[in-house]
Amino acid sequence: MAFSNPISNLFGKSPILPLQDHMSLVVRCATQLEPFFEAAIADNWPQATNIFNQIVEYENKADELKKDFRLNMPNSLFMPVPRGDLLSILAQQDEIANTTKDVCGIVLGREMDIPTALQTDFMGFVQSAIETCQKALTAINELDELLETGFTGQEVKFVKKLIRELDAQEQKVDKKELKLRHRLFKLEADMPPVDVMFLYSTIDNIGAIADTAERVGNSLELLLAK
């Protein structure tokens, strides 16, 4: 007998958990930036290649999750949050993984040399950017609790606090980026110009990863406002 049941068909697949799974994969991908740059600074390129392959794998998996997510979001779904907002959060999350892959791809391809004088600051900058992503994940992980409370009350206050922390973290990254660029500016005259150009762009892109993580938090805040 064919099975179609009004009660079970009424329930769609909740988008919350898949969105959280996607974000946790994306952040795992971005976290690889730290060991990757450690290997790059140590001039250990085989190790860097291994880590890059891992990053590519995470990024591909995240892409698959993204496709699944979109396929499971027909127009006829009635959700406590607007469909468009969820899709834009998903796109922003995905961008974190994409940028991570791009940054590492160029560094690996050029076997990029990071000047010794910059190394400590550079690693601190990378760690801060990763931390921003992790804070965004913490906020996104509250989505199921938000749903449980129906987007009201204490939980909303709690998530707003998490988002404020995320914003503060991103500002820290901005400051570190500014400082790092300034120090690079001091060194650039003695470096090959093409290397300098790519180093600037790498710094930019890592800053962009933190920016995107902050935007994820801001989109989450939009969901609270409705």
Partner 1 sequence: MELFTEHGTILIIMAAMFGFFMAWGVGANDVANAMGTSVGSKALTIKQAILIAMVFEFAGAYLAGGEVTSTIRKGIVDSGVFTNQPDLLVFGMLSALLAAGTWLAIASFMGWPVSTTHSIVGAIVGFAAVGVSYDAVNWSKVSTIVASWVVSPVMAGTISFAIFRSVQRLILIQDNPFERAKKYAPMYMFAVGFLMAMVTLLKGLKHVFKDIGIKLSFGENALVAVGFGILVTIIGTYLLSKVERDESKEEGNRFYNVEKVFAVLMIFTACSMAFAHGSNDVANAVGPLAAVVNVVNAGGDIAAKSSMPSWILLLGGGGIVVGLATYGFKVMGTIGRKITELTPSRGFAAELGAAATVVLASGTGLPISTTHTLVGAVLGVGMARGIGALNLRMVGSIFLSWVVTLPAGAALSILFFFFFKGVFGS
Interacting residue ranges for partner 1, rule: CB under 8 A: 1-16, 74, 76-80, 144-145, 147-155
CA distances from 139 to 21, 76, 133, 213 (A): 13, 27, 10, 10
Evaluate the CA torsion angle 60, 61, 62, 68 in order and state its sign. Answer: positive
Which two three-digit tokens encode residue 60?
A: 């591909």
Q: How far is the CB of 100 from partner 1 (least distance, A)?
A: 26
CB closer to partner 1 out of 1 and 194 = 1
CB closer to partner 1 out of 149 and 201 = 149
Residue 89 and residue 68: Cα distance in Å, rounded?
15
CB closer to partner 1 out of 20 and 49 = 20
Q: How far is the CB of 139 from partner 1 (least distance, A)?
A: 15
Give the type of residue at 67. K
Measured over all CA atoms, what is the biggest interatomic distance in the chain, rounded to whole angstroms? 78
Residue 83 and residue 204: Cα distance in Å, rounded?
31
The C-alpha angle with vertex 58 and arms to 110 and 37, in degrees rounded to 5, equals 35
CB closer to partner 1 out of 16 and 51 = 16
Q: How far is the CB of 216 from partner 1 (least distance, A)?
A: 19
The alpha carbon of residue 128 and the mean position of all alpha carbons in its chain are separated, in whole angstroms, by 12
Residue 170 and residue 173: Cα distance in Å, rounded?
5
**Helix, strand or coil for residue 74?**
coil
Q: How far is the CB of 77 from partner 1 (least distance, A)?
A: 5
Q: How far is the CB of 13 from partner 1 (least distance, A)?
A: 6
CB closer to partner 1 out of 11 and 84 = 11
Q: How far is the CB of 155 from partner 1 (least distance, A)?
A: 7
CB closer to partner 1 out of 142 and 170 = 142
Q: How far is the CB of 57 from partner 1 (least distance, A)?
A: 25
CB closer to partner 1 out of 87 and 147 = 147
Contacts of 55 (CB under 8 A, 6+ apart): 29, 32, 36, 100, 101, 104
